[in-house]
Structure 1
Amino acid sequence: MKQALTGARIFTGDQFLDNKALIIGGSAIIAVSENDNVVRDFPDAQLVELDGGILAPGFIDLQVNGGGGAFFTNDTSVSALQTMLDGHRPTGTTGMLPTLISDTRQTHQAGVKAVADAVAQGMSGVLGIHIEGPFFDMEKRGAHNAKYIRDIEGDDLDWLTHLDATRVMLTLAPEHTQPGQVRQLVEAGIIVCGGHTNAHYEQVMAAIDEGLSGFTHLYNAMRPQTGREPGVVGAALDSADTWCGIICDNHHVHPASVRVAISAKPRGKVYLVTDAMSTVGSEQKSFTIYGEEIFEKDGALVNAEGRLAGSAIGMIDAVRIAHRDVGLALDECLRMASLYPAEYLGLADTLGRIDEQCRADLVHFTEDFAVTATWVAGDFKQHR
């Protein structure tokens, strides 16, 4: 069954189009058509009238700890992954990397298996897995439990480099690796990012030479930049070929710091993430990790020590804040939420754009950034 989506302004990932209709069939985008030609050119298509607003590529979130009441590290099951997808879909997220925080190797292995099983079962919204830790610097661990923080070991390298899973992103502190270990991980197909790190500039650049390609929640839990010591932040902003995820929730990063990152990096190298916890898409305002209660306070999630412990936003919130508070153009905010993460994952041939033969992952939202509908591989869901 073909559908002709009309009535909305279309953002293709490159430009806005007016007076156009988007034709989808099955799981794929078929064409962008002139509104006046839809009935003639696609007589078998069901007309779906969207009441204004914007139709854009579905959002891709590369750092999602939980959602819908499920927290992945606590529940490494396929059903928890579905709950997370269901929780984030009303915020426009159509693809994600479920994220494991620092824990035991057994927990991480169980999470990898759950993701592999979900992908094998056709759970289209699961694009891979993000393993965040436990190979961190103790001083920069943030809300990660100290008892799990350690250097990477031979057994870790062995299982990580022999994963029979889909895309894997691994966040680590490069100063706690031995020479050649980052290269070994990258050669095994893992996307290696720096995060929760107190490394000096030279240590980060050495890891980049070995293939480290990104930075997790830029500015947070990493050595800051100063005039004499560029630190991790300076290395991230100075390296043209690396990618930076950034949390636009007005708690983790000041809008001015977001603008600095956008100015410093080449276009397309900064993408939005939520770092969301289980409260997103759920009525709950607190949850437990490591036996400790994490609760929402003034729109942020904090632990008993007052440390930030993930965010309470969805991707549509990140887009709205990046546009209204940071002051970025809406088209760039949408690319930061869809095209750029797709490019980082190597999926921009099928995701992050509205083009023929791309997967029909779409979000429709109003001028006030309220998500009304999403499509995941052509599967339609109305949200309001």
Structure 2
Amino acid sequence: MTDQPVTFTGGPIFDGQKLRTNMAARFAGGALQALVPEAEVGADETVVDLSGDILSPGYVDLQVNGGGGVMFNDDPSARTLARIASAHRALGTTSILPTLITDTAEKTRAAIDAAIEAVKAGVPGVAGLHLEGPHLSEARKGAHDAKLIRPMDEEDLAFILMAAQTLPALMVTVAPENVTTPQIQAMAEAGVIVSLGHTDASFDTCMACVKAGARCATHLFNAMSQLGSREPGLVGAVLSNGLMSAGLIADAVHVHPETIRAAWTAKQGPGQIFLVSDAMAVAGTGLSEFRLEGRLIRRENGRLTLQDGTLAGADLDLTQAVRVLTEKVGVPMPEALAAATSVPAALISKDKNAPLQKLSQTIRIASDLSGARAVAEG
């Protein structure tokens, strides 16, 4: 979008909470100036007709492993982050937490350095960092390399606390099997978004982690202890504890739509379920396969799998996830859009009193939910 004033009209406008109809959005210098009734648009204004498409804040994706043909793990550098972020911006995601999957201590530190460099350089779309491991449970490792999973030590903790002081947002996925509650408390007090995942921990153990400061769960239902009749597990802790939020891979592959429906109804607030893509290198490309640390991952029929059939990330963008929520689960459109925009934005915002999602990084979503693209960025 140019710096010239422009007005968008002719379609619903999502403001982060509600869909506004019969309204127009005026921009100048790439930033929203006002929402006004369409009847007030002047004849001298430069107008873009949305033709029924939705104008929305850009998507915020807190779990992005790769895109544009590359994986963050393969080359944890600011250059890689720029390429990944660019690929996702073309899909409507204007803010990401690039995500490092379980790797060596050296690779983890390189990822932290890369994220810090990218943020300082103002790489568009890089909002911080998500470390998914290596302090997970082997019993729920999923596609993570078991050889690299290990307990958190004091040096690991020190690097995380340093990163939290520098990055605008830092999420760390851990399993109670390989971290202690004092470590969780130290991270939480430093501003880290501690997310429980890849764990077989009991309900009581998970609740103790929440008491210590954990506030999130990674890809709800996947790679975690399940909701049972006598043991509620991490799923039960997420749904019953209002302090917890949870990412969800809504591709109708990782989680059945009816399971999503039940969770959506059961979730206690104020914590909420939000959408993540768990995207891999193929995002934004036509690639049919790629490698993760030497392991072949195939893309077929909307799935990404290792050779043994284990799901390895998702072949998903957030417009597809919104479509699954609205068309297969029955979630109202404003709630579905909030789950991809304002809800994750609020989770990573350090200023809880500030407006969290303005129409300054804006996307146009096709009326049939076939895709989205960035159209206005401040």
Q: Return the TM-score normalized by structure 2.
A: 0.94
Matched residues in 2 for 1:335 and 1:123: separation?
A: 24
C-alpha displacement of 1:287: 0.7
Q: Which residue of 1 aligns with 2:123?
A: 123
Q: Does the C-alpha gap of structure 1 residues 221 and 330 become closer, same or farther in structure 2, counting only changes over 3 Å?
A: same
C-alpha displacement of 1:152: 0.6
Secondary structure of the residue that 2:177 maps to in structure 1? Answer: helix
Q: How many residue pairs are counted as aligned between the two chains?
A: 370
The amino acid across from 2:123 in the alignment is: M
Kept in 2, the 8 Å contact 1:363–1:371? The answer is no
Equivalent of 2:173 in 142, 150, 171:
171
1:31-70 maps to which residues of 2 (within 5 A)? Answer: 31-39=34-42, 46-70=46-70
Q: Which residue of 1 aligns with 2:135?
A: 135
Equivalent of 2:261 in 249, 259, 262:
259
The amino acid across from 1:36 in the alignment is: A
Matched residues in 2 for 1:287 and 1:373: separation?
A: 25
User: Which deviates more from structure 2 when the two are superposed, residues 142-151 or residues 104-113?
Assistant: 104-113
Kept in 2, the 8 Å contact 1:214–1:244? The answer is yes
Equivalent of 1:342 in 342, 345, 353:
345
Kept in 1, the 8 Å contact 2:15–2:56? The answer is yes
Matched residues in 1 for 2:215 and 2:330: separation?
A: 27
Q: Which residue of 1 aligns with 2:155?
A: 155
Matched residues in 1 for 2:181 and 2:343: separation?
A: 30
Q: Does the C-alpha gap of structure 1 residues 372 and 210 become closer, same or farther in structure 2, counting only changes over 3 Å?
A: closer
Matched residues in 1 for 2:114 and 2:12: separation?
A: 38
Q: Does the C-alpha gap of structure 1 residues 180 and 376 become closer, same or farther in structure 2, counting only changes over 3 Å?
A: farther
User: Which deviates more from structure 2 when the two are superposed, residues 8-17 or residues 336-345?
Assistant: 8-17
Q: Which residue of 2 aligns with 1:271?
A: 274
C-alpha displacement of 1:118: 1.4
| Unpaired stretches in structure 1, ≥5 consecutive residues | 355-359, 379-384
Q: Return the TM-score normalized by structure 1.
A: 0.92
Kept in 1, the 8 Å contact 2:65–2:278? The answer is yes
Q: Does the C-alpha gap of structure 1 residues 289 and 201 become closer, same or farther in structure 2, counting only changes over 3 Å?
A: same
Secondary structure of the residue that 1:55 maps to in structure 2? Answer: strand
Kept in 2, the 8 Å contact 1:292–1:303? The answer is yes
Q: Which residue of 2 aligns with 1:290?
A: 293
Secondary structure of the residue that 2:254 maps to in structure 1? Answer: coil
Q: Which residue of 2 aligns with 1:352?
A: 357
Q: Which residue of 2 aligns with 1:219?
A: 221
Kept in 2, the 8 Å contact 1:175–1:204? The answer is no
Q: Deviations over 1:335-382 (max 9, x none)?
A: 11101101111267344344xxxxx1111122211335313633xxxx
Percent identity at matched positions?
A: 37
Q: Deviations over 1:224-249 (max 9, x none)?
A: 11111111111111111110100001
| Unpaired stretches in structure 2, ≥5 consecutive residues | none
Secondary structure of the residue that 2:116 maps to in structure 1? Answer: helix
Secondary structure of the residue that 1:218 maps to in structure 2? Answer: coil
Matched residues in 1 for 2:51 and 2:183: separation?
A: 53
User: Which deviates more from structure 2 when the two are superposed, residues 172-181 or residues 223-232?
Assistant: 172-181
User: Which deviates more from structure 2 when the two are superposed, residues 260-269 or residues 200-209?
Assistant: 260-269
1:6-21 maps to which residues of 2 (within 5 A)? Answer: 6-21=9-24
RMSD: 1.7
Q: Which residue of 2 aligns with 1:90?
A: 90
